[in-house]
Structure 1
Amino acid sequence: MNVLVIYTHPNHQSLCYSFLQKVIEGSEKNPNITELQVLDLYEQQFQPALQFNKQKRRRDMHLDPKMERYRKQISWADKIVFIYPIWWGRPPAMLLGYIDQVFAANFAYKFKNGLLPEGLLKGKSAVCISTMRGPTFYPRFLLHNAHQVLMKKGLFHFTGMKKVKFFEFGSMENPGGNQSKKLKKVFQYFQKINR
């Protein structure tokens, strides 16, 4: 199994970075994982803003040479892991800009005659590991689970990925937030997964 980790946090002293380390450590102990690649969007200085004009049209995004290496990573991966904080009830703009540009029509999905598209990333699976300052129940109940709906239905299912796992950790700036226990949980998950 090939695993691609897309890490989106500007601070390598953050708890998100600690989760990244646990993903790597767990994966290294897992005989089912052949190879792991990490894409650090901030370190790569990824440009998240979409730009269109007469020469660069939205319908041609799947051919954009600047995104070719990212598309190749997605094609290569069996499991795609996203690690990010939840800001304003959603992933950072950096990650959303990456999704906008890389998961393009005719690469990640295509429209046929019906209303719904055909997902072109079938067979792949996804994991989202997210942290937030507030309690875990806040986005689930007060925001009607908007974050998970956005990622699961708006991205993964739309592109054909049906197997999705969420680790959504709240109260992460609280001294009593059980950070060590949650880091161990992620480590153990990646130590054992087989698909």
Structure 2
Amino acid sequence: MNVLIVFTHPDHQSLSYSFLQAVLQGCKENHVIQNVQVLDLYRENFNPVLFFDEKKKRRNMYKDPELEKYRNQLSWAEKIIFIYPIWWGRPPAMLMGYMDKMFASGFAYKDNGKLLPEGLLMGKSVVCISVMKGPTFYPMFWLNNAHKVLLRKALFNYVGIKKVKFFEFGHMENSKGKHFEKIKKVYQYFQKLNIA
């Protein structure tokens, strides 16, 4: 299995970074996972600003040479893991900008004249690992699960990715947030992960 980890946090002393290390350790101990690549968007200085004009058309974004490296990573990956904090009820702008650019028409989906397009990333699966200051139930009861609905339905299902798993951890700035247990849960998930 080829695994791509897209890590989105500017601070390598953060809890998000601890989850990245747990994922990497779990993958290392899993014989099913042969190859792992990490894309650290902040360290990469990824430009999240989506720009197009008369000369640079949005419809041609799928062949933008500046994004070829990232398209190759997504094509190569069988499992894509996103690790990020929840800020204002959603992923950071850096990650949303990456998604704006990478999940483009002609690469991630193709319009076919029907209600929904043809997803071009079928067969891949996604795991989203997010942490937030507020309680775990906050997004569900106060925001109608907007974060998960946005990613699962408006993005991943749209491009053909049907297998999507979320680890969404709350109270992560609280000393009683059970950090070790949550990190261990993620580590064990990837340690035991199989192809199915």
What is the RMSD computed on CA atoms of the aligned residues? 0.5
Instruction: Please give the TM-score of this superposition, normalised by the length of structure 1.
Output: 0.99
Instruction: In structure 1, list runs of 5 or more residues that go unmatched.
Output: none
Which residue pairs with 1:148 in the alignment? 148
Q: Are residue 109 (structure 1) and residue 135 (structure 2) matched?
A: no
Which residue pairs with 1:50 in the alignment? 50
Which residue pairs with 2:21 in the alignment? 21
Which residue pairs with 2:87 in the alignment? 87
Quote the offset at 1:183 in angstroms.
0.3
Give the letter aligned to residue 61 of structure 2.
M
**Ranges of 4+ aligned residues in structure 1 off by more than 4 Å:** none
Instruction: In structure 2, list runs of 5 or more residues that go unmatched.
Output: none
Output aligned runs, 1:145-184, within 5 Å: 145-184=145-184
Could you give the per-residue CA deviations for residues 27-58 of structure 1, whole angstroms, max 9, x where no partner exists?
Answer: 00000001000000000011101111111101
Paired residue total: 195
Quote the offset at 1:142 in angstroms.
0.4
Q: Equivalent residue of 2:167, what SS?
A: strand
Q: Are residue 131 (structure 1) and residue 131 (structure 2) matched?
A: yes
Quote the offset at 1:64 in angstroms.
0.4
The 2-side partners of 1:146 and 1:12 are apart by: 27
Q: Equivalent residue of 2:61, what SS?
A: helix
Q: Equivalent residue of 1:158, what SS?
A: helix
Give the letter aligned to residue 114 of structure 1.
K
